[in-house]
Amino acid sequence: MARRISLSRAARLVGVKRGTLQQKIRAGELTTFEGEIVLSDLLHAYPNAQIEDSSMLERVEQIIEQATFINPDKIARKPDNVALTARIMSLGERLAQQQRLIDRYQRLTRQLEAQIDQLAGDPGALDRLKKWLEEATAGITEDGDIIDQSFVNETFLRVMSAQATVIPSGHEFFVEGAESVLEAGLRGGLALNYGCSNGNCGLCKIRVVSGEVRKMKHHDYVLTEAEKGLGYVLGCCNTAISDVVLEADEAQSTSDIPLQKIPIRIRKIENPDQQVLIVSTRTPRTSRLRFLAGQRATLAIDKVGSGFYPIASCPCDDMNLQFHIALDQRDPVAGYLAQSAKVNDMLNLEGPVGSFVLDENSPYPLVFIAEGIGFASIKGLIEHAMALDVAEKMVLFWISGDRDNHYLNNLCRAWNDALDNFEYVPLEMCATGNLQDAIMARLQPDDPANFDYYVCAGNELLAAMEQFVESREIPKNQLHCEAI
Ligand code: FES
């Protein structure tokens, strides 16, 4: 039987985003069978994958690098010996099954040849049949060489990471090294339910439907015998040692996320231009912020005051939170952070709040429009969409007073260069008609009605986008707005 692999694994194997493969499937250049791709079809579509994958260690390093794009804790991602051994054992069994299958086919082929030899007296059709069989067998061997190599490559990736599929959502993510299922799920952009991240609260309980997990650290929370019997484990204390299917609670909306009060520590304050501060902070390890990308939080400083700011980072890294704060003289928190605050000072965070979040159930590609510091919320949404890796295409329009005011221009350019499904369009402050023309020009030849629009801007631009959506008969629920 032709070897099939999931869309997520196929994307990793040939080094592209899932969205790129989805585009090929839509264009009829690749076909799927029950959501999976035949390995040989993938190799025909990406013949260079063979060359790229000649050094699998490099590829694994690349995957680890990508995984640590958000969380720099690299050492934790390397599989420990026990997890590695368990994965190799599981793969060994699978390889043994495949080998048994191959042996049976070879035996069958020999039997067929013997049958044909017995009928050798008839020089007609049977001779031709024998010749055909010889050629077909040789063909199988040649094809086999190609597929075997990719099989080896894919098997190697499988040892280094396990694929997790969550039901009922169908979300997928990879568990790298010895990281916990919870860490991996959050890094993959899922809004999993959890609390302490440390084995105390039991909120991260998940049910293992198939596959194997292994407990990686002690937990104080006690699962009942009935729960254990049903396959429940704690996501924050277990890693996956084979591909797994998990039943888990995921936040469906902002109302599923509780309001939290957390003391956070300042790690860095940057001043990319005269108008904005970028404040990087860190939560305690056992009290991380559960939030959805695009939400906001209140930051308070004793004896100074408080302010309400967008969280400009992805929930996939719930310990390292970033805020972009406009240097407004009327804002005491901004003034204090710019002039007096130091690294390691504490801030009091309360949040999250807000409903400007990704509609994960929408099948459409994404258009992001940010005006000035509206980029803060949009950045969180983009990083979340990247972590989820489900959008076929993303286009960012960032409108600013002048070109120097795209205060994270290099980051946007890096996304543009590194991701084949991401396009960055910096714009100087323009008439709304020009913005609409720019959008139409970039989306062509696609129908603008087949996109979701996320806009964080001033009231004038928001009104223009409402007009744009109405004039092109785009359903209103595809426009998501947040005022700055
Ligand atoms: S998050 Fe609290 S026990 Fe796992």
End-to-end Cα distance, the chain: 56
Confidence (pLDDT) at 146: 52
Confidence (pLDDT) at 66: 46
Closest CA to 316 of 165, 481, 173: 173
* Rounded distance between C-alpha atoms, residue 11 and residue 160, angstroms: 16
Query: Do 136 and 109 belong together in one domain?
Result: yes
Query: Do 175 and 62 belong together in one domain?
Result: no
List the domain range (segments joined by +) for residue 415: 366-483
Whether ligand 1 lies within 6 angstroms of the CB of 202 is answered as yes
Bridge partners, 483 (sequence order): 457
Q: Is residue 359 situated within a structural domain?
A: no
Query: Do 477 and 402 belong together in one domain?
Result: yes
- The helix, strand and coil proportions of the chain, stated in percent and rounded to the nearest 5, come to 40, 25, 35
Which residues of the chain are modeled with pLDDT < 50?
51-76, 144
Whether ligand 1 lies within 6 angstroms of the CB of 197 is answered as yes
Among 157, 172, 202, the domain boundary falls at 157
Q: How far is the CA of 199 from the centre of ligand 1 (A)?
A: 4
Q: Is residue 205 situated within a structural domain?
A: yes
3-state secondary structure of 195: coil
CATH number at residue 188: 3.10.20.30
Number of domains in the chain: 4
Confidence (pLDDT) at 64: 40
Among 132, 157, 182, the domain boundary falls at 157
Query: Do 242 and 381 belong together in one domain?
Result: no
- Which residues, at least 6 apart from 86, have a Cβ–Cβ distance to it below 8 Å? 212, 214, 241, 242
Q: Is residue 252 situated within a structural domain?
A: no
pTM: 0.75
Confidence (pLDDT) at 54: 40
Pocket test for ligand 1, best of 192, 193, 201, 283 (most atoms within 8 A of CB): 201
CA nearest ligand 1 atom 1, residue: 197
Confidence (pLDDT) at 17: 78
CATH number at residue 408: 3.40.50.80
What is the 8-class DSSP label of residue 257? S
* Cis before 72? omega within 30: no
Query: Do 73 and 204 belong together in one domain?
Result: no
Looking from the CA of residue 199, the nearest atom of ligand 1 is: 3
Q: How far is the CA of 287 from the centre of ligand 1 (A)?
A: 11
Judging by beta carbons within 10 Å of its beta carbon (0-12, 13-18, 19+), is residue 177 exposed, middle or buried? buried
Whether ligand 1 lies within 6 angstroms of the CB of 193 is answered as no
Among 106, 133, 157, the domain boundary falls at 157
Q: Is residue 358 situated within a structural domain?
A: no
Q: How far is the CA of 253 from the centre of ligand 1 (A)?
A: 21
Whether ligand 1 lies within 6 angstroms of the CB of 185 is answered as no
Residues recorded for the chain: 484
Query: Do 345 and 466 belong together in one domain?
Result: no
CA nearest ligand 1 atom 3, residue: 199
Query: Do 16 and 119 belong together in one domain?
Result: yes
What one-character-per-residue DSSP string does 351-371 give? Answer: EEE------TT--S-EEEEEE
Query: Do 150 and 26 belong together in one domain?
Result: yes
Q: Is residue 300 situated within a structural domain?
A: yes
Looking from the CA of residue 236, the nearest atom of ligand 1 is: 4
Confidence (pLDDT) at 208: 97
Query: Do 319 and 339 belong together in one domain?
Result: yes
Please say whether the beta carbons of 384 and 189 come within 8 A: yes
Whether ligand 1 lies within 6 angstroms of the CB of 221 is answered as yes
Confidence (pLDDT) at 368: 97
Whether ligand 1 lies within 6 angstroms of the CB of 201 is answered as yes
Looking from the CA of residue 195, the nearest atom of ligand 1 is: 1
Looking from the CA of residue 235, the nearest atom of ligand 1 is: 4
Confidence (pLDDT) at 135: 75
Looking from the CA of residue 194, the nearest atom of ligand 1 is: 1
Query: Do 151 and 223 belong together in one domain?
Result: no
Q: How far is the CA of 198 from the centre of ligand 1 (A)?
A: 5
Confidence (pLDDT) at 312: 97
Q: How far is the CA of 109 from the centre of ligand 1 (A)?
A: 55
Query: Do 346 and 330 belong together in one domain?
Result: yes
Q: Is residue 360 situated within a structural domain?
A: no
Q: Is residue 254 situated within a structural domain?
A: no
CATH number at residue 341: 2.40.30.10
> At 107, which amino acid appears?
R
Q: How far is the CA of 235 from the centre of ligand 1 (A)?
A: 7
Closest CA to 233 of 253, 243, 219, 251: 219
Query: Do 381 and 338 belong together in one domain?
Result: no
Q: Is residue 91 situated within a structural domain?
A: yes
